[in-house]
Structures are given as C-alpha cells and as structure tokens.
Amino acid sequence: MEERNKTLGEFIIENQNAFQYSSGELSRIINSIRLAAKVVNYKVNKAGLVDIVGAAGEQNIQGEDQQKLDVYANEVFIQTLINREIVCGIASEENDDFITVEGSDNSHNNKYVVLMDPLDGSSNIDVNVSVGTIFSVYRRVTPIGTPVTIEDFLQPGINQVAAGYVIYGTSTMLVYTTGHGVNGFTLNPAIGTFYLSHPKMQFPTDGHIYSINEGNYVHFPQGVKDYIKYCQLEEGDRPYTSRYIGSLVSDIHRNMIKGGIYLYPTSSKAPKGKLRLLYECNPLAFIAEQAGGKASDGFNRIMEIEPTELHERVPFFCGSYNMVEKAEEFMHKAKLSKY
C-alpha cells in the first residue's frame, strides 16, 4: 500500500510494536482521541449555524472566559476516554482538578493518564479562525490498582509516551508522535476517515517566520525585544516575516511546515508566561523535538522542567532549531548584561 493511502487505523496497527509498551492500550487511546476529534470537528464546522459560539458565561481555573465550544469539547474528550476504559486519570485545562477514572469493575488497573487542552484558541471560533486540541499521554508512576494521585500528572515532559494535536482548519488534521517521529493525518469528511497525508514531518532547521504578539512588545523582557529587532534587521536572509494567528496549534503547525519560531515569553503582564506547561508546552515540545525542532523557556529545555502544579505556566520558545538557539542566545546576553 502506498504510504499516503494509509488510514490512521492502519498506521497505528502497523507501528504498534515501535511503542515501548505494545499492549494495545496506546492504540486505543489514539483511537479514542480520533473519535472525539471527529465529533468536535463536526461541531466546529457548524459553529456559525447553531448556538454554540460565544462565551458560556463561566471562567475556567485560569480565570479565562470559557467559550461554549470549550465546554462541549472538554465533555466530549473526557467522556470518550472514560467510556473506552483505557485511562486511569484525565487532567484538562478546563477543569480545576484531575479526574480519577475507575474501570467498570471499580478497579484502577489502567496504566495511562491523559492531559489535554480540549479546544485551544477557542476565542477565535467566533471569527472563523482555526482552533485545535492538544493532548499528552504519560504512563502512571503510582502503583497499578490504586487511584491516581497528583504525582501521576506532575511529570516532566521527557516522560511522555505520546503527544499530539488536532487542528480544525480548512482541513482537519491529527498530528502525533509516540517518540518515533511525527506523522500527520488529514480527515476526509466525506467518509469520516483520517489518511496519512504528512509522513515524517520535520521542522526546517532554519526558517524565515517569527510568531509573537508584537502588541505586547513594551511588556517583553529585553532579550525578546532584542531578538525581535534582530528578526527585523535588513541583513543576510532577514528581515523575517511576521506571522501570528493567535491560535497556538495553528502557529506551531504552520511553522513546522514552513520553518519558523513561535514565542510566548514572560511579560510584565504575565510574569510567569501565559501558556500551560502540562497541557500546551510539553506536548508541543515533544512534537517539536521529534520533528527536529527545539522548545525551551528561553533558557532551559521545556521537557526537563519539573512541574509543581497542575496549571503551571511557563514562557515558551518553540520551532526551527537554529531559530530557537538564536533566541536563547539573545536571552542569555540580556541576562548577563544585567550583572
């Protein structure tokens, strides 16, 4: 069979033995996410026709207004994972605390926890801009047979066994890794099947796109300001092109295909950064590294950060390897010039 004609289901079965713990559970988790993504995709595509756009009137744990589709997507992904009886715990950006999942026989024998941002960039739904789902899978660290604890979720990104995202755009794609490269699958809406469309995805080592909300320039640390000026300088292959959608998944996806860097640094308005380590940064860092890119907080590798709380925020620099290295160089220079 030609590589690009493979369905996601066929690809999962063929590559299951490449996974460290090939007992079938990971395949079932990816299949659950595939199913939930199709349900959410259907709602996203008809969002302008039904009463599902706009705010739900509540705020999530981060104090952000919850969109109606946020709430819907959260419920769909959680219920799909619970119904399949394959995970022992779920943590979502939309929930205050993690969810303990019991088997139908009240057991706690499942081995994996899933952390997710069910609908990233949902504030863009009202204006018909692409949004996404981000997910991360870990093997539990507490004994099998006992309920999960916070310890199972507060693991560094290097412990991830799988991570991925779904982008609901002009076409809907599921992109994921189990630590053996990154592959992208595009949904054929006519038959509801994901097909391998982007095998062995790679970040170009260098790029010409920088993605940052320059409206916050005055609030950024000096190293980031210096890097932005470097990107804008007419020298060599610069100036670079500025492209910022404001949907994290969309910005990362574009930069992985075309070459670029995404930056969400600390600022005087968000002194710890804004993006969540567990739901956004770790899974996207895993994907970036598996695609030959790099992800850091400006100084340290994202996936080596030891999390201390469920909704922890960190600054995020992610993209083409050489571009992230250069941004880190400016961060270090600015830090040294303070002393």
Binding residues for substrate: 120-123, 213, 244, 262-264, 274
Length of the chain: 339
Q: What whole-number distance in Å separates Cα of residue 281 and Cα of residue 313? A: 9
**Cis peptide bond upstream of 189, omega within 30:** no
SS3 call for 101: coil
Q: How much is the CA Rg of the chain, to the nearest whole Å? A: 20
Burial of 227 (0-12, 13-18, 19+ CB in 10 A): buried
Per the listing, tokens 């789902």 go with 133
Residue 288 is encoded by which pair of tokens? 């970036």
- Who contacts 206 (Cβ-Cβ below 8 Å, separation ≥6)? 259, 320, 322, 323
SS3 call for 261: strand
Q: What whole-number distance in Å separates Cα of residue 265 and Cα of residue 251? A: 15
Q: Give the residue numbers of the binding site.
A: 93, 117, 119-123, 213, 244, 262-264, 274, 280
| Beta strand ranges found along 8-52 (DSSP E) | none
Per the listing, tokens 């709430």 go with 71
Q: Give the residue numbers of the binding site for Mg(2+).
A: 93, 117, 119-120, 280
